[in-house]
Amino acid sequence: METAKITVRASGTYDILISKGGLSGIGKAAAERFKPCTVAILSDDKVFPLYGKTVMDSLEAASFRTVAHVIPNGEQSKTLDNVTAFIDCMVKAQVTRTDMVLALGGGVVGDMAGFAAAIYLRGIPYIQVPTTLLAAVDSSVGGKTAVDISAGKNLVGAFHQPALVYLDTENLKTLDPSVLRDGFAEVIKYGVILDKKLFDTVAKPNSFDLKEVIARCIEIKRDVVEQDEFDKGLRGLLNFGHTFGHAIEKLSGFTITHGSAVARGMIIAAKVARVYGFTDYTDIITKVVKDYGFETDCPFKANELYSVILSDKKRSGANITLVLPKQIGACTLEKMPASQVLELMKKAGL
């Protein structure tokens, strides 16, 4: 079994290990990097029954002590109360500064475990073990951690880089097809923003080696994070399709999933780019999104989207920065008054 290694050099330096079938090697990988300690695992009730035992057995065989806290699967669990409950579990288990957190799950678990690790005892290390495609290519890498509050998604959080990301692509085989598809919205995103070759590779579903594609997405994210860890500029490119996507998610009451919303958001961004004066890539992006089985129509009007976009955490003062495709593989960040975003959406027919 070949394990690919990608190293991220940000405020913390850490390895991302990508294997096909290597989950039971996590204890060895951890022992090569960290002293024996307690590992406090956060997982959810879909993932833990599948992989919890393998991870705990492997860590314990490598002289780590493990404790586990399991939350219900789904975005509704991503709350401050659930972070507090996990922290209470760590207090009870006498987890100290020399111990670690481990996130076993998708983006919700990864963001929450990372946030708990960022604030518990003013910060302890954590390991990401992503089990969804979305977490593998995006949320497990780069150190963004957060929880949702009633005003919006991810509004409370911290930058806290993981100490290790350990991915077994075989774990993605048990995903519901719709959850797997959600991750492909992020994969397509990487192609559009920075890598035409990747875009062309993934344009036809099921025609490529998933492990290689995941590794390429992670390399792109690594390069962006190393240049702009704290999201002051370039990292904004990773939000392609997300400003509109987050608005769609919120307006749907989260019945439209993140990936489906981002897929539609990328199409809106392409339409907006056209009316902004850039070359029109709407048809090319729409075709790929459709081929993955995503809906392509936005069920909300420009005014509705705008009302949510105004409360987006990425807004700075009166301005909004949109990520617009200039070419496939080359997006730019376009800062403009918020009111112009509304005008552009209307002009684009929303």
Q: Closest approach of Cβ 237 to ligand GLY, in Å? A: 9
Chain positions 18 to 47 lying near ligand GLY, rule: CB under 6 A, are none
Amino acid at 216: R
Which DSSP helix (H) or strand (E) runs through 331?
Answer: strand 330-337
Shortest CB 194 distance to ligand GLY, Å: 13
> In whole angstroms, how close is the CB of 334 to ligand GLY at the nearest point?
18
Asked if 264 touches ligand GLY (CB under 6 A), the answer is: no
**Minimal distance, residue 231 CB to ligand GLY, in Å:** 6
252 phi and psi angles, rounded to 5 deg? -85, 0
Q: What's the min distance (Å) between Cβ of 142 and ligand GLY?
A: 4
Supply the minimum distance, in Å, between the C-beta of residue 51 and ligand GLY.
23
Instruction: Supply the DSSP string of 49-70, one letter for each residue.
Output: HHHHHHHHHHHHHTT-EEEEEE
40/322 with CB nearer ligand GLY: 322
Helix or strand holding residue 157 (H, E) = strand 152-159
* Nearest-approach distance from CB 236 to ligand GLY, in angstroms: 8
User: What is the footprint of ligand GLY within residues 215-244 (CB under 6 A)?
Assistant: 231, 235, 238
**Minimum CB distance to ligand GLY smaller for 231 or for 291:** 231
> Smaller CB distance to ligand GLY: residue 8 or 100?
8
Q: Nearer Cβ to ligand GLY, position 22 or 157?
A: 157
Determine how many CB atoms are found less than 10 A away from the CB of residue 69: 21
Cite the DSSP H helix spans in the chain: 26-33, 48-61, 80-92, 107-119, 133-134, 177-194, 196-202, 210-227, 242-251, 258-276, 282-291, 302-309, 338-347
Residues 291-350 that bind ligand GLY (CB under 6 A): none
Nearer to ligand GLY, 245 or 325 (CB): 245
Give whichever of 68 and 198 is closer to ligand GLY, judged by the CB atom.
198
Provide the minimum distance between the beta carbon of 157 and ligand GLY in the complex, in angstroms, as a whole number: 11
Name the residue whose CB lies closest to ligand GLY: 238
- Beta carbon nearer to ligand GLY, 114 or 142: 142
Amino acid at 12: G
Stretch 135-154 residues interacting with ligand GLY (CB under 6 A): 138, 142, 144
> 294 by DSSP, 3-state: which?
coil
Can you tell me which residue has the tokens 């904004």?
Answer: 236
> Which residue type does 346 have?
K
How many chain residues bind ligand GLY (CB under 6 A)? 6
CB 185 within 8 A of CB 259: yes
* Buried-exposed string 128-142: b where 16+ CB fall within 10 A, e elsewhere: bbbbbbbbbbbbbbb
* Least distance in angstroms from the C-beta of 219 to ligand GLY: 14
What string of H, E and C letters represents the secondary structure of 82-148? Answer: HHHHHHHHHHHCCCCCCCEEEEEECHHHHHHHHHHHHHHHHCCCEEEEECCHHHHHHHCCCCEEEEE
Please, which residue, 18 or 87, has the CB nearer to ligand GLY?
18
Nearer to ligand GLY, 10 or 56 (CB): 10
- Binding stretches for ligand GLY (CB under 6 A): 138, 142, 144, 231, 235, 238
